[in-house]
Amino acid sequence: MTTEPRWRRLGPDQRREEIFASAQRLFALRPYRDVSTADIAADAGVARGLLNHYFGTKRDLYLEVVREAASVPENVIDHAPGGTLEERIDAAVTWFLDSLSGQDAAWISAAGSSGLGRDPELERILLKAEDDAVDRVLETIDMADVTDHRDELRAFVRAYGQLAKTAGREWLIKKQLSREQVHLLLRQSLLTIVEDVLPEAIARDRA
Amino acid sequence: MTTEPRWRRLGPDQRREEIFASAQRLFALRPYRDVSTADIAADAGVARGLLNHYFGTKRDLYLEVVREAASVPENVIDHAPGGTLEERIDAAVTWFLDSLSGQDAAWISAAGSSGLGRDPELERILLKAEDDAVDRVLETIDMADVTDHRDELRAFVRAYGQLAKTAGREWLIKKQLSREQVHLLLRQSLLTIVEDVLPEAIARDRA
DNA sequence: GTAGTTGTTGGCACAGCGCCAATAGTGCAC
DNA sequence: GTGCACTATTGGCGCTGTGCCAACAACTAC
């Protein structure tokens, strides 16, 4: 008679994956403070101590989940570098909105949290993700002719990204705007920034 | 010989104020999790239990601090309702930038925190503050002629608010942009929204 | 079968928080 | 000036949640 094993022994990667999945689920469901390591462990069908073994602390696990969720989907854009500026901007906006609707409700909304007691590490992760998105946009609209003052352009687009994210939320979550309206807003805003604000800002030079 | 009292007995309001001030200081200094109630109590020169007596839990105290910090300063705007649209927008932008520079480094930056484990109550507070700011802007630019589709306008301006906040951060904290550049960005963006995006969005009607 | 490897467990120790009965300032009545 | 009621304030008890680690048990190779 072979005795039934009391628990299955898995390879490190697989077990790690299971725990991570449970963490993802629960952190998407409730705020951080309302998810105990015991909850995650129970959900993964595992002893609590194992979390600390695979990921360090509860916080480390959380940051990893956030990093994953915040990462920009690798959707390759239909890079049509040949079009007019407006066409390129349209492509960038379309890409952005698509990548938003692709993510489910547990998507990352805004980067900042509050300035009070803000968490530097968490902030770093979210800003990094934001910067990646900015890169994607810049790459798509292809502002190769702007050789100087790239920093200003980046700063403008970074701010623009917040507008885009919020507008996306007005569409997806609050249902206050239609996709067309959001698209319109994003296109015109970006157009204004690139065609109008940036040249003028360059003219006045940097402070 | 009158024995020295071991501690001063203050009126409730005054003591509450002192504790609140300590909480403000510390929460601005370190992230929430790194500020213990013991720290706050020590800083205020008071027993830990008193925090719970005046404010409920540590979290309640924190939320109160955030509420205070997020509240829009009551700076009255030089309401010049007579000017052109561009002048009114300029006034709104100026007000906004002034109110930003008025607040110190501990100002509220972005409303959202992350979609993962987002805190509904905290979010409500920040959105409320944001909405107040939106009201202020709308009131200043005085779009009385837009009688219908006010919801869309609000949604647009809400998104715009994120742009503004981020741009402000690029100026005040990251020093990536000058005030003039930010002003330019904010003016043109709002102008585009009001003159260009909104009419077009109305034309296409709401989804 | 047996020994070695290592994924996994269970519990110990500790920090932080909410709570509450006891305590000690403070002002009022006389 | 003395006692008394009032309540601001304390100090510590108990609980929850976390990180850690030594023991254990499943699997593998021979």
Tell me the mean pLDDT in the region A20-47.
96
Which two three-digit tokens encode residue A63? 């940051």
Residues 46-85 of A with CB under 7 A from strand C: 46-50, 53
Chain B residues with CB under 8 Å of A159 CB are 163-164, 166-167, 170, 185
Q: What is the pTM of this model?
A: 0.88
In whole angstroms, D8 C1' to B46 CA is: 11
**Residue A75's pLDDT band (cuts 50, 70, 90):** low
Nearest residue of A to residue B129 by CA position?
A114
ipTM of this complex prediction, to 2 decimal places: 0.87
What pLDDT is stored for residue A61 in this prediction?
A: 97
CA dist A136 and A96 (Å) reads: 9
Render chain A in DSSP notation, one character per residue.
-PPPPSS----HHHHHHHHHHHHHHHHHHS-GGG--HHHHHHHHTS-THHHHHHSSSHHHHHHHHHHHHHSPP-------TTS-HHHHHHHHHHHHHHHHHHS-TT----S---STT--HHHHHHHHHHHHHHHHHHHHHHT-TT--S-HHHHHHHHHHHHHHHHHHHHHHHTS--S-HHHHHHHHHHHHHHIIIIIHHHHHHT---
Closest CA to A62 of A91, A22, A101, A92: A22
Token pair for B144? 């009385």
Q: Which residues, 6 or more positions from A117, have their beta carbon under 8 angstroms from its beta carbon?
A: B27, B28, B30, B31, B32, B35, B62
Q: Which residues contact B100 (CB under 8 A, 6 or more apart)?
A: B107, B168, B172
Quote the DSSP letter at residue B32: G
Fold of B12-69: Arc Repressor Mutant, subunit A (1.10.10)
Cβ B106–A115 below 8 Å, yes or no?
A: yes
Which residue's CA is nearest to the C1' of nucleotide D21?
A: A49
Q: What integer pLDDT is reported at residue B119 of this predicted model?
A: 84
Residues of A from 113 to 142 whose C-beta is within 7 A of strand C: which are they?
Answer: none
Query: Residue A78: how many CA atoms within 13 Å on its side-chain side?
Result: 10
If you ran DSSP here, which 8-state letter would residue B73 be given? P
In A169-188, the residues whose Cβ lies within 8 Å of chain B are 170, 174, 176-181, 184-185, 188
Higher pLDDT, B165 or A45: A45
pLDDT of residue B110: 40
Task: Say how far apart CA B107 and CA B70 lie, in whole Å.
Answer: 7
What pLDDT score was predicted for residue B77?
Answer: 62
Query: Is any Cβ of chain B less than 8 angstroms from the Cβ of A37?
Result: no
Give the separation between CA B126 and CA B110, rounded to whole angstroms: 8
Question: What's the pLDDT tens digit per position in A141-186?
Answer: 888 777 788 899 999 999 999 999 889 988 988 889 999 999 999 9
Residue range A87-131, pLDDT digits in tens: 999 999 999 998 887 765 445 444 345 566 678 899 889 889 888
DSSP symbols for B105-122: TT----S---STT--HHH
Q: Quote the pLDDT of residue A34.
A: 95
Across B155-179, b (16+ Cβ under 10 Å) vs e yields bbbbbbbbbbbbbbbbbbeeebbbe
Note whether A70 contacts B151, CB cutoff 8 Å: no
Question: Phi and psi of B6, rounded to 5°?
Answer: -75, -20
CA B82 and chain centroid, separation: 28
Q: What Rg value do the Cα atoms of chain A yield, rounded?
A: 22
Which pair of tokens denotes residue A126? 């979210």
In 3D, which of B72, B6, B62 has the Cα closest to residue B36? B62
Domain extent listing, chain A: 12-69, 73-203
Q: Measured CA to C1', what is the nucleotide nearest A56?
A: D19
pLDDT at A143: 83
Here the tokens at position A187 are 């296109």
For an interface test with B, which of A100, A103, A181 has the most B Cβ atoms less than 10 Å from its Cβ?
A: A181
pLDDT of residue A114: 57
Give the position of tokens 């013991």. B38
Low-confidence ranges of chain B (pLDDT < 70): 1-2, 73-81, 103-117, 205-207
Strand, coil or helix: what is B2? coil
What residues contact B60, with CB distance under 8 A and at least 6 apart?
none
